[in-house]
Structure 1
Amino acid sequence: MSDGAVQPEFGPDLAEVFGPAHADGGPELIQLLTPEGERVHHPEFDLDFSAEELQGLYRDMVLVRRLDVEATALQRHGELGIWAQLLGQEAAQIGAGRALRSQDFVFPTYREHGVAWCRGLDPLKLLGLFRGVDHGDWNPSDYNFNLYTIVIGAQTLHATGYAMGMQRDGVVGTGDPDRDAAVLAHFGDGASSQGDVNEAFIFAASYNAPVVFFCQNNQWAISEPIERQSRIPLYQRALGFGFPGLRVDGNDVLATYAVTRAALQRARDGQGPTFVEAYTYRMGAHTTTDDPTRYRLTADVEHWKLKDPIARLEVYLKRNGLGDDDFFADLTAEADELGHTLREGCKAMPDPEPLEIFDRVYAETPPELAAQRDGFADYLASFEGAH
């Protein structure tokens, strides 16, 4: 659609849908911690959190932000080919990641660094992918965390198929909390416009698949704003497919945890899919090749800075005496150590052997691929001894 396109006359007025009431998520937004750090309650999703649990969520967000900042700096120094930033989306990812049980399975996009952290994945494995020394150097079954998916929205189909497999394996709705499992499928607001995602919704609804579709609505599909993607709030789309949708404050780690936990349990119990829209904001660029100043207003960014997910939990911890000076000092030191580990570990990664890529395509290399490998080997050999 071009900038000068005329909107159709039917349907809700965009000013009503995306006006001031929805600039902050609207009245349907599920929230447990306000941007000012005030604890509020919700009739359906309220939970009690211990001091240790709150400190753990805060630690996760601080360290994941440090990972993001370091990776961005490494890319700027030429150590990574590209990096997909999560700045501002820490609560959405940590809340969802910590709501998982060990037997659940995650299908990420290419931005779920916080969820990877929650699944115990070494962050250097993420950097290896973006450095180009591998295609994702982890076994998904070791972490119940699939490889990053670059094709927009494709992982939702994979997730739905995997969830249907769980049904047939008899690990859904048994009543055994150590056995029953569900799938968490991550995608963004831009991906919600893809056919793959809508097809996944249809299959999940038709087969009552145990999958939670977790959409991080960060307001921007690269350079297109959310109002160009949908004439209704995204979570309301789920109703048309026959399963419930919820909108949670994606900058509130407590609410995100509570809502995702409930949706996952619903899936494990055999009650089918749920759409969770985590209403957040992409504070950085889409990737490090993007310049967001060309298409969005600085005022919008400044508005969302006041909703920072880490700052609001920090205020709550300090105001209620749930974190002393030693806790915050120790965490700062831990973040610095993580930064050092990431910098040194990234630079020390060995380059892959160029011909290895041919060894990991087929179990038995066909003649056509062998010919390509040999031709490439001859090409590389032509540079030997060159100055």
Structure 2
Amino acid sequence: MASLRRRQILELLIPGLLAFLLAGLSIADMFLPRPYDGVVLEADVPGRLVVRQVVAGSGADRAGIRPGDVIVGIDRVVLETTAHAAEVLNRHAIGEKVTYLVRSHGHLREVEVELGRRRIGDTMFLLAALLGFAFFFVGLFVLVQQPRLPAARVFFFMSVLFLLFLVCRLRPASYSWVDTFVLTTGTVALLFLPATFFHFFLIFPRPIWEWRHDLAARTVGRLARSGRLLPLVYGIPPAVYAAVVTAARLQKTGLALISGAPLANWWVMVVYMTAGLGALAASARSLPDVRQRRGAGLVFLGTLFGVVPFLVLAVAFPSFLHTERFLYYGVIPLILVPITFAYAIIRFQLLDIRVILRKSLMYTTMTALVTAVYAGL
């Protein structure tokens, strides 16, 4: 029995370990030194590279580039996008002098800019990475305790996808050899995270069709028993992705994106997470077992106050205000999800996990996590 349990855990841990290593590679890539001119561009001026700020003492500052100037070309290459500019810069070495074509007050001029160094990863990315690892380790703990429980396995995979989504998708492009591989993995995580989120809350802490008897629960139960529920739930996001990408290519139009991924799939995430919150709210209100009901209620509050700000700032704001400036601020409240879930496991023995832990240690750990988040702001 013990050897079977270890084998089950090992089989489930292999994809989790690969995700952990890939997340580590993504973080390392973000903090490697890269050539930098000192220019901060406006994020919300499509089609033009307008200088919003120039870092004091940088090569651009010494060359006379000022806020409001427009970067037309770098190294005799006419620029199309900010991504194109970063790609051209990465062809050069730190300390090298590069020719810039700049439009200032209606006049074009060339200046020589000496490239300094910088690391793309910043405090907000580091916080997102720490949050991703918090999800991962809570999911790992649940899996090790209950490897045969379907809800525990789904929760672990949801935690792994949160890690990949936060570390591999919500990251600036570095234009290194790591970039395409990591960002593609992050996009895959974006496709399957909403379905896993919804799937988990359909069966947590008990399958919703086992204790509810309304039309929706009976329909879900019939689909689950017939084997059609999971292909439907997990098949819709990739189908939406394929449809919008194909349509954009056929029509030769630009694809609306948020953080480099199709806007449509971010709205699929909104729909799925809203449905997942609805299933969790039903559990918190109607589960027959009082202990499970209280635990589900706590998880619901943490998930509600963690997920809703994220959906507003990371999806609604970019969609309607056409700015991603607030995206990372939406990531921060997500810390409530693993914290409340961990607390509910300890306090209410959710998923039949019993933990012996001194209260002082538990409170110290929770306080340390919250303090770490706010210290980074």
Could you tell me the TM-score, scaled by structure 2's length? 0.26
Q: Give the greater-gyration-radius structure (CA).
A: 2
- Structure showing greater relative contact order (alpha-carbon pairs closer than 8 Å, 6 or more residues apart): 1
